[in-house]
Amino acid sequence: MKLKIFITLLSLMFLPASVMAQNGLRIAAVVNDEIISYYDLNARLMLIIVTSNLSNSPNIRQRLAPQILRTLIDEKLKMQEAKRMNIRVSEKEISKALKLLSQQNKIPEDRLFDFLARNGIDQSTLLDQIEADISWYKIINRIQGQTSKVSQEEIDEKLALIQANTNKSETRFSEIFLPVDSPEKEREVQELANRLLEQVRSGASFSSLARSFSQAPSASAGGDVGWVKKGQIDPKLETALTQLKKGMISNPISSSGGYYILAVTDRRIEEGQGAGNIIVSLQQLLIPLSPTASKETVNQQMVRARNLVSKVTNCNDMERVSQEHGSPLSGSLGKVNLKNLPDKMLKLIQPLQPGQPSSAVRISDGIAIFMVCEKIVEKSSVEDLRNKIANSLTVQRQQSVARRKMRDLRHAAFLDVRL
């Protein structure tokens, strides 16, 4: 290996400086017997800048270059390990990853390479990244298969926790995870986390930065973790999430081997982790009111509507009141899937139990009060739920295995970083 490095470096030494500069052959890093050039580094920088909506300024490039070079070094190590383990990536697997990437960036799949070309980015820059990501996933899966699998006892424990948190709030969030492999690297990683946070708050794409920098399994999905309930994640992260409203982003959080940046994308109250669709049949009392009615008139009709349903306890009573006091638009609204309701309507209807009237709300046609007559929760099978739990635990274990494996590869490698 050392002989290969020597020969490669020797051949580069005899190239004219003008040729070196023209072809971007200046060496940014040597990884075992392979070279990362400044051309490679600049190409990846441009890819991240374009897909993440970053400013293409010298300052941004200079600040991100060290971490991007580190990412390229890690990718070299991943591909070298894949070659050693005889792991290959198929065209079908790459096509699937390209399709997902197109969706994340809202670019038609057949125009993705055109988009890169218009921005001066060779498609190999993206394909190399995708191949390294898929190879690494396969490496970790193979290692994971050689260790103990998730036990039924672990699944039972998580299932009991989920059932204990039924009807409690769930949060959907995305993450960027930056590992700290050694104490002397902590400050460097913290500074990177702060830089990425600054870029996101300035308008950069969270999902694109997660894909480029995050070392969590969620990186391939743009950092999307999915829905979680209380007790399912690290308590430190859980505490941070409870302090964030929908659409907010956390400050860097030191936890579990590195730094996290979290972004809350949605919240809901789910009736059981295994719940599928929730179908409700609705009754509506609508008291007509002009859109231009005065505030005083609106308040008076609000009070009237609340008084009319103050003693209503079922949908038969609600229907009678609607016929006597409501507009012709009052009455049954039929069966509705809660997931199809607008957010404001969902928040009003979702907490209601059958026979419980909602609060009075102002709508364009007047004052409305709703009542759920029937609620049907289409639950997934217990087996489906157990499979989801097993998959979640497997991902957590894979993340731990991946951190250890990458740390071992770095320690065993010959690295010459020249940036």
Tell whether 76 and 136 lie within a shared domain: yes
Task: Say if 20 falls within a structural domain.
Answer: yes
Domain match, 319 and 389 both = no
**Angle between helical axes of 186-201 and 58-84 (0-180°, round to 10):** 120
- Please give the pLDDT value at position 53: 80
- Are 228 and 99 part of one and the same domain? no
Contacts of 333 (CB under 8 A, 6+ apart): 281, 282, 283, 284, 370
On whether both 175 and 99 belong to a single domain, the answer is no
Label residue 384 by pLDDT band (50, 70, 90): confident
In angstroms, the CA 317 to CA 283 distance is 10
Task: Determine what percent of the chain falls in helix, strand and coil, rounding each to the nearest 5.
Answer: 55, 20, 25
pLDDT digits (tens, 9 = 90+) for 292-316: 888 898 888 889 888 988 888 888 8
94 vs 9 pLDDT, higher one: 94
Asked if the structure places residue 160 within a domain, the reply is no
Q: Does 150 reside within a domain? A: no
Instruction: For residues 298 and 296, give the distance between their C-alpha atoms in angstroms, rounded to a whole number.
Output: 5
Residue 418 within any structural domain of the chain: no
Strands in 169-179's sheet, in edge-to-edge order, are 224-229, 169-179, 258-269, 253-255
Give the CATH number of the domain where residue 372 resides: 3.10.50.40
Domains contained in the chain, number: 3
Q: Are residues 28 and 134 in the same domain?
A: yes
3-state secondary structure of 328: coil
Element (DSSP H or E) covering residue 10 = helix 2-13
Whether residues 329 and 256 fall in one domain: no
**Shared-domain flag, residues 373 and 230:** no
Q: What are the b/e assignments for 224-246, b being 16+ CB within 10 Å? A: bbeebbbebbeeebeebbeebee
Please state, in angstroms and rounded to a whole number, the distance separating the CA atoms of residues 365 and 289. Answer: 6
Strands (E), 244-319: 253-255, 258-269, 275-288
Residue 353 lies in a domain: yes
Is 237 within 8 Å of 262 (Cβ atoms)? yes
Mean pLDDT over residues 140-169, rounded?
76
Say whether 374 sits in a helix, a strand or coil.
strand
- The first and second tokens of residue 323, run together, are 């016929």
Euclidean distance between CA atoms 56 and 357, whole angstroms: 55
3-state secondary structure (DSSP) of residue 417: strand
Where do runs of H (alpha helix) occur along 202-327? 206-213, 235-242, 295-308, 315-325
Q: What CATH number does the domain containing 66 carry?
A: 1.10.4030.10
Q: Name the strand (E) or helix (H) holding 173.
A: strand 169-179
Q: State mean pLDDT over 204-209.
A: 88
Judged against a pLDDT cut of 70, whether residue 149 lies above it is answered with yes
Share above pLDDT 70 across residues of the chain, in percent, rounded to a whole number: 87
Q: Are residues 132 and 19 in the same domain?
A: yes
pLDDT value at residue 148 = 60
Pair 231, 333 in one domain:
no
CA pair distance 278, 351, nearest whole angstrom: 12
Q: Are residues 339 and 389 in the same domain?
A: no
Q: Which residues are 335's β-sheet partners? A: 281
Last residue of a domain, one of 97, 125, 142: 142
pLDDT band at 381; cut points 50, 70, 90: low
Average pLDDT, whole number, for the chain? 82
Spatial distance between the Cα atoms of 248 and 190, rounded to a whole number of angstroms: 20
Same domain, yes or no, for 251 and 302? no
Query: Stretch 175-202: mean pLDDT, rounded?
Result: 88
Record the tokens describing residue 120, joined without a space: 């001066």
User: What's the rounded mean pLDDT across residues 20-40?
Assistant: 80
Do 253 and 311 lie in one domain? The reply is no
Asked if the structure places residue 163 within a domain, the reply is: no
Tokens coding 271:
């009736």
End of a domain among 127, 142, 157?
142
Residue 374 in contact with residue 281, Cβ under 8 Å? yes
Structure tokens at 192: 């990177």
How do strand 331-337 and strand 275-288 relate by DSSP bridges? antiparallel
How far is it, in rounded angstroms, from Cα 105 to Cα 119? Answer: 15
Q: Residue 88: pLDDT band by 50, 70, 90 thresholds?
A: very high
Is it the case that residue 70 has pLDDT exceeding 50? Answer: yes
In a domain, 351, yes or no: yes
Strands 34-37, 253-255: pairing is unpaired
- By the 10 Å C-beta count (0-12 exposed, 13-18 middle, 19+ buried), 80 is classed as middle
What was the pLDDT predicted at 364? 74
- Report yes or no on 148 lying in a domain: no
For residue 350, the model assigns a pLDDT of 83
- Domain extent, residue 78, equals 2-142
